[in-house]
Amino acid sequence: MHLRWGPRRRSPRLLARGGGLDLISDLPDDLLLLVLAGLPCVSAAARTEVLSRRWRSLWARLGQIVFSDVPFHSLEAVLRRLPRPIPVLSLLEIRFPNERLPWPIPEEHLVDAASVNSLLRAAARLEPEEFEFELPANLLDGPLIVDLPCFHRATSILLDLHPVGVILRVPAGVEFPALEELHLWACTVDIDALLSCSPRLRTLCLSNVYSDSDDDLVVSATVAVSSTSLQELVLRQTDWMDGVNIVAPVLKQLTVSFSVIGKVSIFVLAPMAEMVSWRCCYLEVPIVFGVWRLEQVTLQTAATPGQLPSLHIHASANSIFVCEEETFMHEMEKHMIAEFSVLELHLETNGHVFGALAFHVLRMNRLCSARRKLKVILQRSSVKEGCSCSPHCPCESTGWRSQTISLTGIEEVEINGCGGDDHEIDFMKLILECAPMLKKIIAVRWGLIK
C-alpha cells in the first residue's frame, strides 16, 4: 500500500461524477481495522488520517500495535496520542529504525537511562497482554540502569537490550501477576527478584544474561534460577560462565548452552524434566587425561520417537598435556544431569592411541549402568596417513589393553574413521571380552561399512 502526503488526487471519472464516493471509508470499522492491521508499522496506519476524517484516530483502536520506524525520541509523544481508556491491547511491539547519523553521534540523539525508563513507563500504562521491546544499540553511549515497571496484564514480555552493559532492576513493589513467558537478551539482573514477582511464570529464556549481587550490582558469572512454577527454561551464553545453579521441581524442558574458561560448578534439580538439551564448551581449559584435552560435553534427551538419549564427549590429543585423571572424570560427571543410553566419543586423535581414554571414560560409575550403545568418531584430518605417536607416548602409559571392566549394558558398538591400526583392533577385541550382551559392531572406514 502506497501512502502519500498532500491533497488526494481524483480520477477524471470520479471528478465527472462531482467528486464521487470514498467507498473504502464507508466500510464498517471492523473491516477498516483489518486493513490497518495489515500495515507493517502503526505509523503507516496513523498516516491514513489524511485520506478522510473517517480514518482519523481509527488506528489507535488497533488490537496489535507495532512500532518499527518511529525514532526513539519521538515515540513517547506518539504513545500519548492513544485514547484513554485504551481498548484491549493484545500486542505492543517497539523496535527502532537504524538511523544514519554522523560520527560521533550528536548528544541530542543519544539515549540515556531517564528516557528509556520514561518510555517503558509509558508503554506499561497501555497495559498490553504481550510486550516486546528492543533498545536501539547504535544510540547507546555506555552502560544504562533500567527500571522495569509494572505490566499488570502482560502474559508475555520480550526485552532485547543489546550487549552494552544494561543493568535491569526490579524496583520494590513491581509485580507481574499475569506473566507466563519472559525473554531477556543481554543484561544484568537480579534473577531471584524477577522470579519472586512473577508467580505464574512458565517459560523463561535468558540469552547472555548475568546475575547481580543484591544491591551492589556486582556481576556474577554463575547463573542461578530457582522457581516452583517454571516448566521451560532456556539459558544461552556466548560469553564464559563459571557456574549453573537450577532448582525447578516442575520443569519439563531444559535447554542450556554455555562456555567456560575453568572448572565449572553445576547443580541441577529438575526431577520432572522430560526434554533436556545441554551443551558446555571448554575454552582453552586444561581439563586433561594424559594427552587428551576435554573440549565439549553435550547431553541430549530423545527429541523424536525412537531416538535414544545420548551423551557426547569431545576431546583432542596433544602430547604436551599432562595426566590429571581425577579432574577429567569429575568434570564430565558434572554434566550428567539426565539419564542417557548412548555414549558418543568425538576424538581428534592427531595420531595418538585412544583406547586408554575410552576405557577411562567407560569406567565411570554413571556410564557403567546407563549405556546401550557406544559410538566412537575418530577425526584424523590433522595427521598424515601412516603417522603415529612415539613408542613411549603418554597415550599408552596406562596399560589399557590388559584392563577388564563390566560393560553388561552395551548392545551395539560403532567406530567411525577407523584405519585398521593395531590399537584399534585391540580396542574392539577388548570390547568383545567386556560386553557379553553385545549384538552388533559397526566399523566405518572412508565411508565403507565392514
- Model pLDDT, residue 162: 77
| Sign of the dihedral through C-alpha 46, 52, 57, 61 | negative
Contacts of 55 (CB under 8 A, 6+ apart): 25, 32, 48, 49
Q: Output the pTM of the full model.
A: 0.83
- Model pLDDT, residue 1: 35
Measure the CA–CA gap between 242 and 222, rounded to whole angstroms: 6
Give CA 304 to chain center in angstroms.
20
Measure the CA–CA gap between 137 and 160, rounded to whole angstroms: 10
- Model pLDDT, residue 3: 36
Measure the CA–CA gap between 117 and 121, rounded to whole angstroms: 6
**Which pairs count as long-range contacts for 3-9, CB under 8 Å and 24+ apart, including other chains?**
3/44, 3/47, 3/48, 3/50, 5/47, 5/50, 6/50, 8/50, 8/51
Contact at 8 Å (CB) between 48 and 5? no
Helix (H, G, I), strand (E, B) or coil at 325: helix
102-161 pLDDT, tens digit per residue, is 566 666 667 889 999 999 999 999 999 999 999 887 777 778 899 999 999 999 999 998
- Model pLDDT, residue 247: 98
- The distance in angstroms from the start CA to the end CA of the chain is 63
- Model pLDDT, residue 289: 86
User: What are the beta bridge partners of residue 156?
Assistant: 130, 181
DSSP state for residue 152 in the 8-state scheme:
S
Measure the CA–CA gap between 353 and 426, rounded to whole angstroms: 11
Helix (H, G, I), strand (E, B) or coil at 74: helix
- Model pLDDT, residue 144: 87
Structural Rg of the chain based on CA atoms: 30
Measure the CA–CA gap between 142 and 159, rounded to whole angstroms: 18
Domain ranges (residues) in the chain: 286-450
Residue with cell 520494590: 172
- Burial class of 128 by CB neighbour count within 10 A (0 to 12, 13 to 18, 19+): buried
C-alpha cell at 345: 566419543
* Beta strands 310-317; 292-300: pairing state: antiparallel
- Model pLDDT, residue 327: 82
How far, CA to CA in Å, does 36 sit from each of 16, 27, 135, 154? 30, 13, 25, 23
List, for the chain, all residue ranges whose pLDDT scores fall below the cut of 50: 1-18, 44-45, 48, 50-51, 382-386, 447, 449-450
| Helices of type H across 2-71 | 12-16, 29-37, 42-46
User: What are the beta bridge partners of residue 32?
Assistant: none
Contacts of 170 (CB under 8 A, 6+ apart): 147, 148, 189, 190, 193, 194, 197
Contact at 8 Å (CB) between 284 and 304? no
Contact at 8 Å (CB) between 148 and 168? yes
